[in-house]
Amino acid sequence: MLFHNPIYLLIFLPVVFCIYFLIPNNKINLRIYFLVLSGLIFYAYWNIKLSPLIVIAILVNFYFSKKITNSTNIIYKKKILVISIIFNILYLGFFKYADFVINNVNIIFNSNFTTLNLPFPLALSFVTFQTIAFLVECFDGNIEKNNIRRYSLFIIFFPQLIAGPIVRYNHMISQFEDKKRSSIIYKNICIGLIVISIGLIKKVLIADNLSVIVDGGFDSNEQISFFGSWLVTFSFAFQLYFDFSGYIDIATGSALLFNINLPTNFNSPFKANSIINFWQRWHITLTNFLTNYIYNPYLRSFKKLTFLKSMIGIMLVFLIAGLWHGPSWLFVIFGGLHGAGLITNHIYRKFISLKINNFFSQVLTFIYVSFSLIFFRAESLDDALKIIKGLYSFNSDFNLLNLYIPLNSIIAFIISIVVCFIFSNTKYITDQLKKNKIFD
């Protein structure tokens, strides 16, 4: 069930909200069971046949978590942790990367293995990262009051199930059991509905109109002009941002209706003045996961850490991050470009003292990010190279895409520039609304 679907907005969300708050405040466990059931229904709406897969993931990982938590033998705990992480990686890999591996094996060894053509279970990538973080927290002894009821809600709470943000167990579960949040808070309802509305505007009015430009450029059989290539490149950067951040806004607003605060995932990323700064602003919870659970453990594995080793670690992390986005070498290239950008930033900071104008840095960063996203959007390397060739083939052809561009799409592009580079973001607006007493 997609967030911008009228069934979600006009039926599912209002019904779940009403029933949730009709359950007495002192029946916290019953409320949790109801939200778990709601999450399962939300998930099953997409593909009921694949619903057992997320149930299996919940049950198996809860079993692992109890084994880790209840053991006092550090060696045994570490063994179970490793096994559980391998299980989750293989579980994700089987459904998401099996055909990718088979295709590459066929190419390398000139074999003819048949692909499995498995459907990819909804939200499994986010569930995997969230679960791994949870299991590590169990190993570190940081998980409080864990049981199957709470853990199920942590995984399948529907606002953040599909596209994040990636949340931590203690941060979320503690909110559900906070008595101050057990009753309807009208201020949260007002702010939540405003944030949902912002998300819908981002998704439906901006991102969907930009997709016309993007699809026309990438799907074109003709070489695109210089101006058209840059328009398509920037349009996709804006489209991805408004689509993803709009979805996160709807998730954040939906959770706020239930008095749950989800972590910030975007903070005006296109105002970043470096690739380092960009990843501090873009998909923030993913950045935190990569840092805390992949990069930092990599650094701790060395008795003597050097600058070179830390830079290699950055590249490895972003190659993994690229592949995590999808089973394609184009995503690996995307990750590699960001790894290279981060390494360049770190080298510049360490060895060069020259300061670059902030505005110029922002423009340069935006151009680099937009360029990297060509590989994120392209269906094939030829599609990516077609756009890239246009970027550097200056000509006087002002017929931008060799096709008609609707006025709505041009307006959406102009609005994107204004919103991304001038206006305040949703986080700032939400913070200001929370301070405003008009909703109290």
Enumerate the active-site residues. Answer: 325
> Dihedral sign, CA of 370, 375, 379, 381?
positive
Asked if 350 and 307 count as a contact pair (C-beta separation under 8 A), the reply is yes
Helix 13-22 with 28-46: angle, nearest 10 deg: 160
Which residue carries 């897969």 as its tokens?
53
| Residues whose CB is less than 8 angstroms from the CB of residue 407 and which lie 6 or more positions away in sequence, other chains included | none
Burial label, 426 (beta-carbon count in 10 A; 0-12, 13-18, 19+): buried
Omega prior to 165 cis, within 30 of 0: yes
At position 110, the amino acid (one-letter code) is N
Rounded to 5 degrees, φ, ψ at 283 are 45, 60
d(CA 236, CA 191): 29
d(CA 212, CA 219): 10
Q: Which contacts (CB < 8 Å, 24+ apart) does range 404-407 have?
A: 405/212, 405/213, 405/216, 406/209, 406/212
Radius of gyration of the chain (CA): 23
